[in-house]
Amino acid sequence: MSQQELTNKEQPAKELETAEHSDPISNGKGKKQGESEIKASSQIVTAESVQAEEVPTIPLGSLQTLSTLQPEVSVHSVEASEAVSTPAPLVAQPAEYRRSVSEWSRILWEGMRPRYLILSIMPFLLGSVLALVHLLSLRGPLGLGQWHPQRFLVGLLAVVLLQLGANLINDYYDYLRGIDTSNTLGPGKLIQQGLIKPTHVLAFGLVLLAGGSLLGLLLALAAGWPLLLFGLLGLLAAYFYSATRRALSSLMLGLPVAFCIYGPLITAGAYYLQQAQLNGQVLLYSLMPGLLATAFVHVNDMRDVEDDAQAGKRTLANTLGLGLNRTLFLALLGGAYLVLLIIGLPHHAPHLALIALWTLPTLVVVVSGIVRTDLASGLHLVLRETLKLEAWFIALLVVGLLLSAILPILPQVPSLALP
């Protein structure tokens, strides 16, 4: 290479170096401006429509490099090399929770409203005791041998199964028609609480009705076919009281049906189970549990009057006003005590039956409660007191009847024990 060419190549470098040393201020500004322009051109894009907004972008060369490399995806197992144990959660999720047999039994038992069994047990007990009193009055202590405890137990179980089945069926059809969905005072409501599927409630209720019907059929074979009529009427009432859209309780027939079932039907059926016959005295006694049970059903309808009206359920309680409802309730209670006085006051009557008047303090509580309240919570308390009133009333009445029959024959007992 000639000396002249080397001189030409070194000349621009010297000029550049001379310019850098000669004007440092301007050179620094130019350098910074050039770097900022390069950085802005390579990293951001300024949109004309959106001024002063910088949008970061990915250089096109990087994307081309990634597409050229085509990295492979490797799959590795995430299984732990050692066993890992987690503690049991303090609160189990609903899907993971499994109830025990005892828990299921308790839930079902509470859902079947066992407290309301008083409505059917007490008239059955009264009818059975009336049959025993009749036997003791006719044959003395020997009449006890003609009373059938096996029939009593089987008949009581049949009545209990029928009522429990009716309660479950009532819950199912109330759920279908939207009745008592917002009522938190009443018992039961297995479906509304999400504890059991609706079809399971219906199936279990039908099983209980079938069991009660089967026992009733066996009793009819032992005591007489007329008893089959009592059982058939009870079965139809237990199902159609709340079943279907034309349920008896929705046609303002709930009170008459309750009076007939929990009064004459069960009382007379229990008496016929022991005696295979009926008389007018039994029908007179059956009025008392029937009236008390009807009062209970009526105050229950008074408590649920708003919910029933919203669901389209027609009852006598949501047809009458509050004043007439109170009057009807007091008339039903007064009618039961009037029948008691008619039975116990005459000269040759069983006067010890009047010990049922010991329930007058409870009656005062019930009457004052129904007069002083118009709230659902207050009526619920009246309902509970009414149930207690019926239980004690019939229990004391039964005790009085037994004492009236046993005391006259006590002198005959020692003679029977002699050889």
In a domain, 31, yes or no: no
Residue 46 — φ and ψ, nearest 5°?
Answer: -95, 120
CA dist., res. 192 & res. 310, Å (int): 17
> Over the chain, what is the mean pLDDT?
79
**In contact, 418 and 367? CB cutoff 8 Å:** no
Could you give the angle at which helices 376-406 and 360-372 cross, rounded to 10 degrees? 160
Predicted confidence at residue 71, as pLDDT, reads 54
Residue 399 domain-assigned? yes
Q: What is the CA radius of gyration of the chain?
A: 44
The verdict on residue 404 lying in a domain is yes
pLDDT in tens, 293-344: 999 999 998 888 887 777 778 888 888 888 999 999 999 999 999 999 999 9
Q: What percent of the chain has pLDDT over 90?
A: 37
| φ and ψ at residue 349, rounded to 5 degrees | -85, 160
User: Is residue 251 situated within a structural domain?
Assistant: yes
What is the span of the domain harbouring residue 393? 101-409
Q: Which two tokens stand for residue 31?
A: 């350098």
Enter the DSSP assignment of 56. Answer: E
For a pLDDT cut of 70, what percent of the chain falls above it? 71
pLDDT exceeds 50 at position 52 = no
Where residue 123 sits, what CATH number does that domain have?
Answer: 1.10.600
pLDDT (tens digit per residue) in 12-26? 444 444 444 444 444
C-alpha to C-alpha distance for 141 and 346, rounded to whole angstroms:
25
Give pLDDT, residue 55. 53
* pLDDT value at residue 296: 95
pLDDT band at 73 (very low <50, low <70, confident <90, very high): low
Query: Which residue has 């239980």 as its token pair?
Result: 391
Per residue in 363-377, pLDDT (tens digit) is: 999 999 999 988 888
Asked if residue 120 is part of any domain, the answer here is yes
The whole-angstrom separation of Cα 9 and Cα 325 is: 121
Closest by CA position to 236, among listed 252, 212, 215: 212
Q: How many domains does the chain have?
A: 1
> So what's the pLDDT on residue 70?
57
How open is the CA angle 50-55-60, to the nearest 5 degrees? Answer: 130
Does residue 144 belong to any structural domain of this protein? Answer: yes
Q: Does residue 393 fall inside a structural domain?
A: yes
CA dihedral 18, 20, 25, 31 (to 10 degrees): 150
Quick check: is 9 in a domain? Answer: no
- Token readout for 24 is 């440092």
Q: Closest by alpha carbon to 408, among 148, 138, 68?
A: 138
Coil, strand or helix: which one is 57?
coil
